[in-house]
Amino acid sequence: MAKTQDEMKLEVAQAAIEYVVPGTIIGIGTGSTANFFIDELAKIKGKIEGTVASSVASAERLKSHGIQVFDLNHVSEISVYVDGADESNKYLHLVKGGGGALTREKIVAAVADKFVCIADESKLVPYLGKFPLPIEVIPMARSYVAREIVKLGGEPVLREGFTTDNGNVILDVHSMEIMEPTKLEQQLNNIVGVVTNGLFAMRPADVLLLGTQDGVKSMN
Ligand code: 5RP
């Protein structure tokens, strides 16, 4: 019988436990795949010092398991960051932010020594951009940023009724075939009013654990 997407997410979450370094602080992503990882981490919570969460939702889930969550400003080292993605190419450049947590995710990934991305096989794509690229924007800059994105060839759509954990809005950019992820990540960062864009190319994942019908495949 074919595995479901959730079964593949669970398998990669279990595989990611191998990357947990005992006695250290673990960075925790956001989303349904990251939730599976949190639940697996709970089983070995006595072996880690604690966690830093990339969203309020993940922090709440961690705390519900009795796992310590530190403020990033009180932490200087994170051994590994484990998170899902909306898309990955074979270079482990990612699109993230489907859950709107991209800014805190990028910050925690930047601090971590190693970024382990966990995803089911549907997330591996030849080119990034089919999944609308999320961009977190300061609310007053929303229209200006949208006009600048149109100049870059994208079609920005405001994520209705959504406010990020940082009090900002999200523009989801459609119709972009992203051939040069690093270049586009920098171009988007240069638009005044953009807080973060969902391209993780300048700091890609170090390892991609991909859940497939034939088991977990590791790419790096
Ligand atoms: C949240 C994210 C998630 O990692 C991404 O949306 C994947 O989510 P899921 O594991 O539910 O498919 O970037 O901001």
Helix (H, G, I), strand (E, B) or coil at 132: coil
Nearest protein CA to atom 2 of ligand 1, as residue: 97
Closest CA to 69 of 59, 79, 78, 61: 59
Count the Cβ atoms, other than its own, within 10 Å of residue 220: 9
Which pLDDT value is given to residue 182?
97
Helix, strand and coil percent figures for the chain, each rounded to 5: 35, 30, 35
Closest CA to 170 of 134, 194, 146, 196: 134
Q: Note the pLDDT tens digit of each residue in 188-202.
A: 999 999 999 999 999
Which pLDDT value is given to residue 187?
96
Please name the helix (run of DSSP H) or strand (run of DSSP E) that holds residue 128, with its range, or none: none
DSSP state of 178: B
Contact status, residue 89 vs residue 128, Cβ threshold 8 Å: yes
pLDDT at 176 over 90: no
Nearest protein CA to atom 8 of ligand 1, as residue: 31
What Rg, from alpha-carbon coordinates, does the chain have?
A: 17
CA of 98 to the centre of ligand 1 (A): 5
From 11, 105, 136, 148, active-site residue: 105
Which pLDDT value is given to residue 177?
82
Nearest protein CA to atom 10 of ligand 1, as residue: 33
Candidates 33, 87, 94: which one to mutate for ligand 1, based on the most atoms within 8 Å of Cβ? 33
Contact status, residue 86 vs residue 95, Cβ threshold 8 Å: yes
105: Cβ contacts below 8 Å, ≥ 6 apart: 29, 30, 54, 55, 83, 96, 97, 200
Token pair in block for residue 78: 């994170």
CA of 97 to the centre of ligand 1 (A): 6
Number of the ligand 1 atom closest to the C-alpha atom of 55: 14
What average pLDDT does this structure show over 90-116?
A: 98
What average pLDDT does this structure show over 112-139?
A: 97
Question: How large a percentage of the chain has pLDDT more than 70?
Answer: 100
Whole-number average pLDDT of the chain: 97
In the residue annotation, 105 being an active-site residue is answered as yes
| pTM score | 0.95
Token pair in block for residue 38: 């949190």
Question: CA–CA separation, 132 vs 95, rounded Å?
Answer: 9
Which pLDDT value is given to residue 17?
98
CA of 101 to the centre of ligand 1 (A): 8
102 pocket-lining for ligand 1 (C-beta < 6 Å): yes
100 pocket-lining for ligand 1 (C-beta < 6 Å): yes
Number of the ligand 1 atom closest to the C-alpha atom of 9: 10
Q: Note the pLDDT tens digit of each residue in 65-93.
A: 999 999 999 999 999 999 999 999 999 99
203: Cβ contacts below 8 Å, ≥ 6 apart: 106, 109, 110, 115
Contact status, residue 211 vs residue 8, Cβ threshold 8 Å: yes
